[in-house]
Amino acid sequence: GAVVSQHPSRVICKSGTSVKIECRSLDFQATTMFWYRQFPKQSLMLMATSNEGSKATYEQGVEKDKFLINHASLTLSTLTVTSAHPEDSSFYICSARGTGITGELFFGEGSRLTVL
């Protein structure tokens, strides 16, 4: 199946700093990418939909100024957590759908953010 890669897989940062997480589609072009957040023992929560070359669409309750999403190319989307706080500590997961792939989404390995 198609491969989606996230980097970094783990990151620890101090409160108040910003952290960037990258999501890459390695063997296909992704016109749409999705970002999820998952807290311990909970299901995945969709944060935003990212379309190449346009602004991301955020789900209700997700602060667009805090979670900056950029989808500048067909193979890369980035999520920047700005001014991170301990409550932003979570597992962040991206998924992507390609232009030639219908139906199934492919997910990255996830990035675990810990804010001290």
Whether the Cβ atoms of residue 1 and residue 105 lie closer than 8 Å to each other? no
20 binds another protein (CB under 8 A): no
Which of 14, 43, 61, 87 is close enough to bind another protein by CB under 8 A? 43
Whether the Cβ atoms of residue 43 and residue 27 lie closer than 8 Å to each other? no
Stretch that binds another protein, among 14-22, 41-49, 60-68, 73-81 (CB under 8 A): 41-49
Q: How many residues does the chain have?
A: 116
End-to-end CA distance of the chain: 36
Whether the Cβ atoms of residue 48 and residue 62 lie closer than 8 Å to each other? yes
Map residues 49-68 to x or -, x wherever contact with another protein holds by CB under 8 A: x-------------------
- Chain residues that interact with another protein, rule: CB under 8 A: 1, 4, 6, 31-32, 34, 36, 43-46, 49, 91, 93, 95, 97, 99, 102-110, 112
